Amino acid sequence: MPETLSILVADDHPLFLTGLRQVIENIGHFSVVAEANDGPTALQRLRGIRPEIAVLDLRMPAMSGLAVAREALSESKETRIIILTAYDDEEMFNDAMDIGVLGYVLKDSATAEIVRCIDAVAMGEYFVSPALTSAALKSRTRAGDAMDTVHGLDLLTPTERRVLRLVARDHTTAEIAEMLSVSPRTVDHHRANICRKLNISGINALLRFALQHRALI
C-alpha cells in the first residue's frame, strides 16, 4: 500500500471528530485529508477528493453515513468505507454489508479496535466489531435453522439470499441493481431463479414470501 493513505472522517460531534483524527494520525501511515460534520458535506468531499478510506458516523444530520456510503459506492469503488455506530442494529449492519462497506465498528470500542479496523480496511479486508460479529453469527444460525424448515431456502446462492433480503426491505429491482452494482436484468434473473427454487409464482409472490420470512432470511 502507499506510504501514506488519505482518509476522510465524518461525525457530527466535534469532540469525537477531533479525537478520531488524532487517533488516525497517530497511527503514522495515514493522513486525514478532509473532515465533515454532516452527510451532504461528507458526500461532496468524498466526490471531490476520492480518499483511499472514509470513516463515516452512521447517524449524521441531513444524510446518514449509510446513505453517504451507498451514494459513494454506487459512483465509485475507489474509496473503502468504514461505518462507526453507537447502535447494535442488525438491519443496519446487513444493509452496510450489502452495499459494500468493509468496516463496521461500534463507537464505544477501544481505540485499538478502531485502529485495527482501519489497518484491515486499508488492506482491502473486512473488519467488524467482535460484538457485532457475534450478533451476525447468531443471525446466520437462525437463517441456517430456517433453511431446514422452509423448502428451497437451502438451494439459494449467497447472492440470491442477498437479493431476497433486499426484496424484504421493499427495495425495487432498480435499487437492488444499484446496490449490488449489477444490471436490473441481472436482478430480474436472480428473482426468477429464487422463485423457481422456492416454488412460488404469481404477482408479488416473491415480496410476500420475503416479508413473511423476513426474520429468517
Q: Is it the case that residue 60 has pLDDT exceeding 90?
A: yes
At 190, list the grid cell. Answer: 436472480
pLDDT at res. 56: 97
Residue type, 120: A
Q: What is the pLDDT of residue 149?
A: 58
Quote the pLDDT of residue 216.
67
Q: What is the dihedral of CA 169, 174, 180, 183, to 10 degrees?
A: 150
Higher per-residue confidence, 127 vs 144 = 127
Contact 9, 57 (CB under 8 A): no
Task: Say which CATH architecture domain 5-133 belongs to.
Answer: 3-Layer(aba) Sandwich (3.40)
- Report percent pLDDT > 70 for the chain: 89
Smallest Cα–Cα separation from 108: which of 135, 87, 80, 134?
Answer: 87
Kindly report, residue by residue over 197-207, the tens digit of the pLDDT.
999 987 678 88
Q: At 36, is the secondary structure helix, strand, or coil? A: strand
What topology does CATH give the domain 150-212?
Arc Repressor Mutant, subunit A (1.10.10)
Helix (H, G, I), strand (E, B) or coil at 116: helix
DSSP alpha helix (H) spans, the chain: 14-27, 39-49, 65-75, 90-99, 111-122, 130-149, 158-168, 173-180, 184-198, 205-212
172: left (phi over 0), alpha (psi -120 to 50) or beta: beta
71-126 confidence digits (pLDDT tens): 999 898 899 999 999 877 777 887 887 788 989 998 888 788 899 999 989 988 88
pLDDT of residue 8: 98
Query: At residue 148, does pLDDT exceed 70?
Result: no
Q: What is the pLDDT of residue 154?
A: 80
pTM over 0.95: no
3-state secondary structure of 33: strand
Mean pLDDT (whole number) for 1-17: 88
Q: What is the mean pLDDT of residues 51-57?
A: 97
**pLDDT confidence of residue 15:** 92
In this prediction, residue 128 carries a pLDDT of 84
Average pLDDT over residues 32-51: 97
CB 53 within 8 A of CB 80: yes
**Which residues of the chain are in CATH 3.40.50.2300 domains?**
5-133
Which three-class secondary structure state does DSSP give residue 22? helix
Comma-separated ranges of CATH 1.10.10.10 domains in the chain: 150-212
What is d(CA 42, CA 60) in angstroms, rounded to the nearest whole number?
A: 10
At residue 35, the pLDDT reads 97
pLDDT classification of 144: cutoffs 50, 70, 90: low
Any idea of the CA torsion for 55, 141, 217, 154, to the nearest 10 degrees?
130
Closest by CA to 88, choosing from 73, 71, 110, 108, is 108
